[in-house]
Amino acid sequence: MCRICDAKAGRGPQATRRGFLKTTAAVAAGAAALPALGNQASAQQSSALPDWASQADRPVLIRGGAVLSMDPDVGDFPAADVLVRDGKIAEIAPSIDAGSDAAVVDADGMIVMPGFIDTHHHQFETALRSFLADGILINDGRPTNEQNYYDTILQKFSVIYRPEDVYINELFAGIAQIDAGVTTVMDVSQIHHTPEHSDAAIEALRDTGRRSVFGYFEGWGDDVRYPQDARRLREQFFSSDDQLLTMVMGGEIYIPNYEAAWEIGRELGLPIALHVVGTFGMADTFDELARSGQFGADNIFIHMTGMSEMAWQAAADAGAHVSLSVPIEMQMRHGTPPIQTALDLGMQPSLSSDVECTMTADPFTQMRSAMTLQRMFANEKALAGEDYPTLLTPRDVIRFATLEGARGLKLDGVTGSLTPGKAADLVLLDATSLNVAPLNNVPGAVATLMERSNVDTVMVDGRVKKWKGEVVGFNIPRLRDELEASRDYLFETAGVERDLFGS
């Protein structure tokens, strides 16, 4: 029996939410203790949901929306019905007779499309939102901000996280992304200081109730069990592939003995993900891996800034996937986002939010940033009379943010498009709102006009997670209080002043 199950059932001495999410008896002076979550933290706000939402076996007919399927075989529809049955998309057609037992959702004025997929998000940093808004990645010896990401976030804040901090940060991030229409995430949790920290991250992903890929990366301190603990985690929490949670092995090449992580990941049949950033001095090691044939279709390369042409070609030849965090890469001095390099090699990237200590995690920002940056470079060439690449379109970046994300995470058989037989991971976007109406082009409206306020309804695996503009199933005020308590503890213990108006 797993420790999380034991804890929920009241068995055993340890150590997940009900065990370790207890008020800390003593913390640094002035730091707030994190209260226990208990059952009230995620108590359903059932009044916000329609009656049929609690009937798991009842079919749901989403009627009359503009359907953007992202599946070329299914096509798109100015107005159509989507039938959801047993958590899966059963049918898409201009008109469907689902019978009298089906619940009907009126989607008139809505865009119905796949939920967004974020292939790289450090959810444990939620309590540090906006803190490093003008920071860069590392102290690279040039005039720079005193507080950079590596020294401040990873080496000062992350090392003091308790399991309870991991839980509330992860949970709140997931709920916030549901609000933004993100139905699948790869959580890059570089916070595995102890097995209890790992368990806390997994339980938070589970309690969020959306499709999540647990990225098992490194931790800090004397009790770190990375990478060996991957075997326990795989067996204990990810033995079945037929669940919302799956697992990826972190294989950072700046970590000593990273080869062991790659070996264990491949032993366990897990994809291997890693940040690849030229400013972090990884190019030589990455070249060595490329030359020795270590790349595979199981690799997820994040950022890929500053890498050699040889290594890029090796990654493309191996069928590796590239995840781009365009706003962060531009903001934090990772290097120019290599959108065009990937496209020129026939690689279709996914999009990811990265770190909310510096930039928002909403998918609309990711899509607009990718599209406008690529078009800026292409348009400059056009204006100079040079040959220029094909301009990205709204449909392209929507595909990056949906189907390509699913492909990168090896979930394209499950999600990423509105395809009969796939899971009903979908969103309804309000096209009647002030910032969108009148609707003249569906992909254009999504990629150039919309924001999280347009996300009306979210379903994950056929279950309603957001309804008529409100996230359901969580006591948000209670969770916000606990996130703020975590923040207060982290800043106090790290000895960092929280200056609301400072730089």
Summarised one tens digit per residue, pLDDT across range 146-166 is 789 999 999 999 999 999 999
So what's the pLDDT on residue 12? 31
Cβ partners under 8 Å of residue 479, min gap 6: 41, 168, 171, 172, 175
Summarised one tens digit per residue, pLDDT across range 302-342 is 999 999 999 999 999 999 999 999 999 999 999 999 999 99
- Which stretch of 259-273, 274-288, 383-397 has the lowest confidence by average pLDDT? 274-288
Count the alpha carbons within 13 Å of 116 in the hemisphere toward its beta carbon: 30
Q: How confident is the model at residue 16 (pLDDT cuts 50, 70, 90)?
A: very low
So what's the pLDDT on residue 281? 86
Q: How confident is the model at residue 366 (pLDDT cuts 50, 70, 90)?
A: very high
- Distances from the Cα of 494 to the Cαs of 28, 151, 160, 416, 485, in angstroms? 9, 12, 7, 40, 14
CA gap 239, 345 in Å, rounded = 35
So what's the pLDDT on residue 147? 80
Comparing C-alpha atoms, which of 417, 418, 420 is closest to residue 91?
Answer: 420
So what's the pLDDT on residue 25? 30
CA gap 280, 147 in Å, rounded = 16
User: Tokens 């999540």, residue?
Assistant: 212
Instruction: Please tell me whether residue 277 adopts helix, strand or coil conformation.
Output: strand
So what's the pLDDT on residue 321? 98
CA gap 398, 394 in Å, rounded = 6
* CATH of segment(s) 50-115+416-471: 2.30.40.10
| Whether pLDDT at 436 is above 50 | yes
So what's the pLDDT on residue 51? 86
Summarised one tens digit per residue, pLDDT across range 472-483 is 999 999 999 999
Q: Which two tokens stand for residue 122?
A: 């450090």
Mean pLDDT of 427-453: 98
Q: Which two tokens stand for residue 462?
A: 């056929």
Exposure of 502 by Cβ count < 10 A (0-12 exposed, 13-18 middle, 19+ buried)?
exposed
So what's the pLDDT on residue 55? 85
Cβ partners under 8 Å of residue 503, min gap 6: 134
- Distances from the Cα of 378 to the Cαs of 383, 443, 500, in angstroms? 9, 21, 39
Mean pLDDT of 56-69: 96
Between 56 and 264, whose confidence is greater? Answer: 264
Class (C level, CATH) for 116-408? alpha beta
| Whether pLDDT at 56 is above 90 | no
Q: Which two tokens stand for residue 489?
A: 């503890």
Region(s) of the chain under CATH 2.30.40.10:
50-115+416-471
The sign of the CA dihedral 21, 26, 27, 29 is positive
Q: Are 61 and 50 in contact (CB under 8 A)?
A: no
* Predicted TM-score of the model (pTM): 0.91
Region(s) of the chain under CATH 3.20.20.140:
116-408
Torsions phi, psi for 256 (to 5 deg): -55, 140
So what's the pLDDT on residue 36? 42
Mean pLDDT of 131-157: 89
Torsions phi, psi for 161 (to 5 deg): -65, 135
Mean pLDDT of 80-105: 96
Count of other CB atoms within 10 angstroms of residue 352: 29
| Whether pLDDT at 47 is above 70 | no
CA gap 279, 43 in Å, rounded = 45
Cβ partners under 8 Å of residue 281, min gap 6: 254
Q: Which two tokens stand for residue 459?
A: 């379903």
| Whether pLDDT at 91 is above 90 | yes
Determine the distance from the C-alpha atom of residue 145 to the mean position of all C-alpha atoms in its chain, rounded to a whole number: 27
| Whether pLDDT at 499 is above 80 | yes
